[in-house]
């Protein structure tokens, strides 16, 4: 299969998938290397496709979803607190799109998350623990932002109240 046809099929897969698709899965599907998939994704992005890479795989963001993106600023340290914060967000109906810190030297540093449910949070936390990775917020003494996709303002306000109650929300 030629590159343009493969990229069209990759785009279709990502558009119709309800969850993230791992690059290795795409490589196996098309019998190509993982690096070819990385290049295909780069070319699709250059064509204007809104594809993001998350810890769970590639996802196509749709501008047609009836939801809104909101940003919140939180502050906490520790894995336990990070898990609790993320659980509050997804358990109340949000998708956690990313985490961002404002580093004094490097500026904005963003990590794509795409956490949609409790299982995604569990998998993410387990990966952090297994790899002994430090959260981005370690760079800013716990201060960080999240972009959330929420279905409505009531959901967002519920999340704000729960985070404030736990002391994680920064004003």
Does the annotation place 146 within a ligand binding site? yes
Does the annotation place 144 within a ligand binding site? yes
Which of 151, 104, 106, 125 is closest to 55 using CA atoms? 125
Which of 4, 2, 53 is closest to 12 using CA atoms? 4
Residue 61 DSSP class: P
Q: Rounded distance, CA 128 to CA 171, Å?
A: 27
Q: Are 109 and 101 in contact (CB under 8 A)?
A: yes
Cα Rg, the chain, nearest whole Å = 17
Adjacency order of strands within the sheet including 143-150: 68-75, 143-150, 95-103, 107-115
Binding residue numbers: 76, 85, 144, 146
Binding residue numbers for Ni(2+): 76, 85, 144, 146
């Amino acid at each position: 299969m030629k590159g343009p046809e493969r990229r069209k099929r990759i785009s279709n897969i990502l558009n119709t998938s309800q969850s993230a698709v791992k690059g290795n899965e795409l490589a196996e599907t098309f019998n190509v290397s993982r690096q070819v998939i990385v290049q295909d994704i780069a070319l699709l992005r250059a064509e204007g496709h809104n594809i993001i890479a998350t810890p769970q795989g590639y996802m196509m963001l749709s501008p047609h979803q009836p939801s809104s993106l909101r940003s919140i600023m939180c502050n906490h340290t520790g894995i336990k607190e990070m898990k609790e914060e993320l659980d509050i967000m997804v358990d109340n109906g949000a998708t956690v799109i990313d985490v961002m810190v404002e580093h004094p030297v490097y500026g904005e540093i963003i990590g794509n998350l795409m956490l949609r449910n409790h299982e995604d949070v569990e998998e993410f936390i387990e990966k952090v623990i297994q790899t002994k990775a430090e959260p981005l917020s370690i760079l800013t003494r716990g201060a960080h932002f999240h972009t959330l996709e929420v279905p409505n303002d009531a959901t967002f306000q519920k999340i704000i109240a729960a985070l404030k109650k736990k002391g994680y929300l920064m004003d």
